[in-house]
Amino acid sequence: MDFAVSDTMKHLIKQVRPFIEDELYPLEPAFLQEGFKAVETELHKKREKVKKLGLWLPQIDKEHGGLGLNVLDHALLSAELGKSPVGHYTFNCQAPDAGNMEILIKYGSPEQQETYLKPLLAGEIRSCFGMTEPDFPGSNPVWMGTTAVKDGDDYIINGRKWWTTGGDGAAFAVVMAITNPEADIHFRASQIIVPADTPGFLIEASTPFMGHRGEGWASHSEVRLENCRVPQKNLLGSEGTGFLIAQERLGPGRIHHCMRWIGICERAFDLMCRRAVQRKIAPERSLAMRQFVQGWVAESRAEIDAAKLMVLHAAWCIDRYGAKEARDQIALIKFTVANTMGRVLDRALQVYGGLGVTDYTPLALFYRTERAARIYDGADEVHKISVAKRILRQYAELLGAGE
């Protein structure tokens, strides 16, 4: 396994790191205390700078205007972008748009690509993804209540979605809906493009998230689809393949999430160490002299490094063998990195004391928003059970063969 960073990636990271620190960190106080819309205009200017630097769309192939990074290289870059809560957005590789771009590139018709993909790649519009439903458990994604019934050349869609990230201001949604309730459970749903201005597509609320509703891209919408009529040509891929398409985007998507979390860990670690050295607890004595703090620093450094290597290994496996063959590695990193991030953030916040729970640093934002990392894209328990079953099945086969 070769995790060596190429000269190209070293140069790329050398460009990206100061951009994040010099261009985005100064915007964070307004973002943290006033919201996304307070910095949206400035972020658009930063996005134009990213384009001019040739750093736009790192996860997208060159033929579509991106950098064409493989999963491993994008993972390395994602760790840098994750240090700022607006890092991925500024480079146009943020969820859920990044996943929708990949779907449209692979499954979109020429008309769909012209109408939705091109402006999405250009950063002219945003999108959202409607899968999770308030009335059904996210841990069982094939069980949903939203339906799309054929009527002439159209689908009529009815249902409810929530945790639809970035729905506020999105130009269109990719909606998962049951198109054939009699099919095998994994082939009942399809993915359908629903323009946001379609009659019956209603954003009812932005979900209050640990006391913050958010706005624009930095929010999660509750969506109701009420007799929402869209043409059947808005179907992505083949009918009944919605779940399979979703699974395709989840493997690399989890690498992106995990390396973004590594970036958050690194930012929290840096803030924790700076605070420990600079914060005086008595004349001539700093927090860094306390053994409790020294222990937190050592434990955090070890856990971040271990988690990062696990993610890079999983990314390497995806690049070499594909997401299906790397499913155990993907499952392991999902809950390992999410929990590592939680511990590192908790230690950093504790070192900051009262300041840590304010919105004067990004720690409180990370702490409240990233607790959900152990829930979305598959709850920790689901990943643990699935990987444990596969491991134990291998042992059962081995022991059975030896009897």
Percent of the chain clearing pLDDT 70 (strictly above): 98
Residue 285, strand partner residues: 282
- Tell how far CA 128 is from the center of its chain: 12
Rounded average pLDDT over 17-44: 97
What's the confidence (pLDDT) of residue 1?
Answer: 56
pLDDT exceeds 50 at position 75: yes
The Cβ-side half-sphere exposure at 264, using a 13 Å CA radius, reads 31
Contact 294, 301 (CB under 8 A): no
**DSSP code per residue over 76-99:** HHHHHHTTSTTHHHHTT--TTHHH
- Looking at 36-132, list the stretches that DSSP marks H as alpha helix, in order from N- to C-terminal side: 40-52, 71-81, 87-90, 97-107, 110-112, 118-122
pLDDT of residue 20: 98
Q: Looking at residue 402, what is its pLDDT? A: 44
Tens digits of per-residue pLDDT, 79-116?
A: 999 999 999 999 999 999 999 999 999 999 999 999 99
Q: What is the pLDDT of residues 81-91, one digit of tens each?
A: 999 999 999 99
202-218 average pLDDT score: 93
**Domains defined for the chain, CATH in brackets:** 7-122 (1.10.540.10), 127-236 (2.40.110.10), 249-402 (1.20.140.10)
What's the average model confidence in pLDDT over 14-24?
A: 97
| pLDDT of 403 | 41
Rounded CA gap, 170 and 168, in Å? 6
Instruction: Mean pLDDT check: name the lowest of 15-19, 45-49, 144-148, 324-328.
Output: 324-328
Q: Are strands 172-178 and 127-130 parallel, antiparallel or unpaired?
A: parallel
Task: Report residue 178's pLDDT band, with 50, 70 and 90 as the boundaries.
Answer: very high
Burial class of residue 64 in the structure, from the number of CB atoms within 10 Å of its CB (0-12 exposed, 13-18 middle, 19+ buried): middle
Q: How far apart (Å, rounded) are the C-alpha atoms in residues 185 and 358?
A: 46
Residues in the chain: 403
pLDDT at 217: 97
Question: pTM (2 decimals)?
Answer: 0.93
376 to 1, 187, 333: CA distances (angstroms): 30, 22, 14
Q: What are 384's two structure tokens?
A: 């643990």
Residue bearing tokens 């990314």: 315
Q: How far apart are CA 121 and CA 282, in angstroms?
A: 54
Cβ burial of 66 (10 Å; 0-12, 13-18, 19+) is buried
Per-residue pLDDT averaged across 255-268, rounded? 95
Please provide the average confidence, as pLDDT, over all residues in the chain.
94
What one-character DSSP code corresponds to residue 233? G
Average pLDDT over residues 68-89: 95
Please state, in angstroms and rounded to a whole number, the distance separating the CA atoms of residues 304 and 266. Answer: 8
Euclidean distance between CA atoms 191 and 174, whole angstroms = 6
Taking residues 227-243, what's their average pLDDT?
A: 97
* Among 219, 169, 225, 239, residue whose Cα is nearest residue 194: 225
> DSSP strand E in 179-333: where?
189-195, 201-206, 214-215, 218-231, 235-236, 280-282, 285-286
Rounded Cα distance between 318 and 327, Å, is: 9
> pLDDT at residue 36 above 70?
yes
pLDDT in tens, 370-381: 999 999 888 999
CB 174 within 8 A of CB 187: no
Average pLDDT of span 43-64: 97
pLDDT over 90 (residue 241): yes
Q: pLDDT tens for residues 289-308? A: 999 999 999 999 999 999 99
When pLDDT is averaged across residues 189-195 and rounded to a whole number, the result is 98
pLDDT tens, position by position, 341-380: 999 999 999 999 999 999 999 999 999 999 999 998 889 9
Residue 115 amino acid letter = T
2 pLDDT band, cuts 50/70/90, is: low
